[in-house]
Amino acid sequence: MSRQSNRTTDSKKMNAELFTLTYGALVTQLCKDYENDEEVNKQLDKMGYNIGVRLIEDFLARSSVGRCQDFRETADVIAKVAFKMYLGITPSVTNWSPAGDEFSLILESNPLVDFVELPDNHSSLVYSNLLCGVLRGALEMVQMAVEVKFSQDTLRGDNVTEIRMKFIKRMEENLPAGDE
Amino acid sequence: MAIFSVYAVNKSGGFIYQYDNYVHRAEAEKTFRYPLDCVLKIHDEKVVVSFGQRDGIRVGNALLSINGLDVNGKFTADGKEIIEYLKDSTNYPLSILFGRARLSSNEKLMPASMFHSLFAIGSQLSPEVGSTGIEMLETDMFKRHCFQTLTGIKLIVLTDPRQSGIDELLRKIYEIYSDFALKNPFYSLAMPIRPPPQCRCWASPCS
């Protein structure tokens, strides 16, 4: 979709390495400031939340997907459209719970952690926790309360990165008029 | 101008943004000599014509400016009461601009909130489940298009009845909103947007 832009650089052509470096600088500075992995994880989640509540509008404006009918459709849209649009990767959706309210996103690669190695003194740091916040914030703006966490992380020795998303409830009180 | 106004209303019915683009066609400027032959009265903190309709000046038109200086409610630009000013024959001849009263921001807030409530009622009255709510309100002078995003923001555009392509315009406005408002980290969500003077992306004629 073409759009008028006053900026001289198209955002899609920005250097991915600069993005990785920026995120890395952010996490290391947070570690220096808070000196506590749990606190850093919480801060990353909060920051991700603030990004998510704004990113969702951008996503809806550009992708023109309608309201998802169920959680499975939501999972597909997140994996195939959203992740592709913003990170250039397409995670796979697996491990559905029997009730259909929990699933996993398996990421083969994660642009945030290119060239990153976690030192031993930061073993409980969830480096990409920002992503959890982004997903949580974005879905909250479309009236879905979810719980998002990393269940596997390549930085901590696992084979793949796995994000586990659990549907908590539909937020009826924030529903825009007319959406039932 | 085919696009008259653009408004944005947040999830709870509060005004986020307004932009008016209409040409004030219903304005008339005339030079008057003492005594003034229109009868004026104060209504809603404005000076309006109550009798003496002629030459493009109609009953109900508000006094907009005297000698080129915009008036401030019922006071002139330098703070004198208009009615007293017009009774003084030494101030004449003077040129007065009458026209349809321009709404202040507070006055626009009320219809916007009312539209928000109408929108909610409209979707509840729908015989089918999953109605989107009021999309268009048509009158003989203008059409009012409304687009509600999945996050509850309502984008409202007032256009000429013959104008087409509004759906695309609404989508574009949504894109622009998500860019200029949301990408600014200092902008708090659901708060009024104060555009900088150079941000006139949707002021250019869209046809």
Gap from B22 CA to chain A (nearest CA, Å): 23
Average pLDDT, chain A: 86
Q: Is pLDDT at A60 greater than 60 in this prediction? A: yes
* Bigger pLDDT: A148 vs B56: A148
CA A110 to chain centre: 11
| DSSP label at residue B176 | H
User: How far is the CA of A106 from the CAs of A16, A97, A100, A162, in angstroms?
Assistant: 21, 15, 17, 5
* DSSP state letters, B128-141: STT-----EEE-SS
B183 touches chain A (CB under 8 A): yes
Query: What per-residue confidence (pLDDT) applies to A12?
Result: 59
Contacts of A142 in chain B (CB under 8 A): 150-151
A174 touches chain B (CB under 8 A): yes
**Dihedral sign, Cα of residue A19, residue A21, residue A27, residue A29:** negative
B156 touches chain A (CB under 8 A): no
Token pair in block for residue B147? 């687009």
| Greatest CA separation for chain A | 52
Edge-to-edge order in the sheet of strand B3-9: B15-20, B3-9, B154-159, B143-148, B136-138
* Identity of the residue in B126, B148, B171 whose CB atom sits nearest the CB atom of A176: B148
- Contact predicate A144/A171, CB 8 Å: yes
Helix (H, G, I), strand (E, B) or coil at B123: helix
Q: Is pLDDT at B156 greater than 80 in this prediction? A: yes
Of A50-54, A130-134, B81-85, where does mean pLDDT reach its minimum?
A: B81-85
CA distance B204 to B21: 10
Tell me the pLDDT band of A5, cut-offs 50, 70 and 90.
Answer: very low
Highest mean pLDDT pick, B29-33, B76-80, B137-141 = B137-141
Instruction: Calculate the CA dihedral of residues B37, B42, B45, B49 and round it to 10 degrees.
Output: -40
